[in-house]
Amino acid sequence: MEFKRCARCGCFFVTEGDVCSDCAPKDRLDMVKVKNYFEENSNYSIDNISISTGVSTRNLTRYLNDQNFPNINL
Ligand SMILES: [Zn+2]
């Protein structure tokens, strides 16, 4: 078994993905917020997105580097 460290809370877990099962719903919620932001805004920076959505820049950077997070170019 391979233990991973949760990208949000830092706890160790064994499931797929970047975050533990406690944080997975929060991660999905944040991604929805970020996607909605992209739909409503054409000019953006990491800082602006973070301020508007309340998603930390650290999590934002992680989503944007995630190939599953669709069609986003900064
Ligand atoms: Zn976690």
- Over residues 20-69, the pLDDT tens digits come to 999 999 999 999 999 999 899 988 899 999 999 999 999 999 998 887 77
What pLDDT does residue 1 have?
Answer: 67
The model carries a pTM of: 0.81
State the Cα angle at 11 between 5 and 16, rounded to 5°. Answer: 50
Radius of gyration of the chain (CA): 13
CA of 18 to the centre of ligand 1 (A): 9
CA of 63 to the centre of ligand 1 (A): 15
- Residue-range domain boundaries for the chain: 25-74
CA of 14 to the centre of ligand 1 (A): 11
What pLDDT does residue 62 have?
Answer: 93
Q: How many CA atoms within 13 Å lie on the side-chain side of 25?
A: 1
CA of 68 to the centre of ligand 1 (A): 19
- Over residues 9-22, the pLDDT tens digits come to 999 998 788 899 99
How many Å apart are CA 48 and CA 13, to the nearest integer? 32
pLDDT category at 6 given cuts 50, 70, 90 is very high
